[in-house]
Amino acid sequence: MRKIIAALTMGLVLTATPVSASPTAVFEQGAIILELGSTLNSKVKGQGSFNVEADGDFGYKYSVTTGLSDKFALQYKQGYFRSETKTIAVPGKGSLTTYAKAEPMDINLLYKVNPTIALLAGYEHSKISYGNYVAAASHSTFHVGLTATHKLDDKATLFATAVRGSGASLNEAGISYKLSAASAFTVSYAERKVKDVDLKILTAPTQKADYTMTGITCMFATRL
């Protein structure tokens, strides 16, 4: 039972926190960019005192980025994610069919180094719950990162992001396609790792493990 709960819960922690300086960000005072989307085909694997694996089910996320000047922008992100439903055998009580959920939030300050490089620094926080089997918990960390872009033509732009926080890392690569002067669609693949995670699962001994999450993110961006 512990393995299943750990896989579902950590799958949410990892899926919920893929932070990056979006390639659709506009460094212009007063410019506002709204992004809507979700992570698809997400998977999480854990290695340590025990090995776990689980899939994500569904979720959504959005972000609002506001240009402060031709060099700085402020970004806010929030979302909701749910794991796949699992039936868990409970000794002496039969079974329980349930799922885990998480509500992530992060805020970032973006800095434009040049037309192809942007730096970010920020804070992320996720609320995680899983019925009565995992004590209500949160995952928080400060992070810094870098996003590099390369225009293929007037519409398509490749991008790559690297983010590092305390015991956590994110590597992401994708393509952004300009739909109009005010909108774009982005598809990316990301791998996120979190080390020495200690889940406080009720009635179970403390065990730590390292987790890796992979998945495809699709986002639609529009300028307001």
The enclosing domain of 8 has a CATH number of 2.40.128.100
Q: Is the pLDDT of residue 24 over 70?
A: no
Give the count of domains, the chain: 1
- What's the start-to-end Cα distance of the chain, in Å? 47
According to the model, what pLDDT value does residue 19 have?
47
List pLDDT tens digits, range 138-183: 667 899 999 999 999 999 999 999 988 887 788 889 999 999 988 9
This prediction has a pTM of 0.76
Higher pLDDT, 101 or 53: 101
**Residue 102 lies in domain:** 2-223
Tell me the pairing of strands 168-180 and 156-165: antiparallel
Between 204 and 190, name the one with better pLDDT. 190
**More reliable by pLDDT, 222 or 192:** 222
Q: HSE (CB half, 13 Å, CA atoms) of 36? A: 4
> pLDDT, tens digit, for every residue of 60-94?
788 899 999 999 999 998 877 777 776 656 556 56
Give the per-residue pLDDT at 50. Answer: 47
Mean pLDDT over each residue of the chain, to the nearest integer: 75
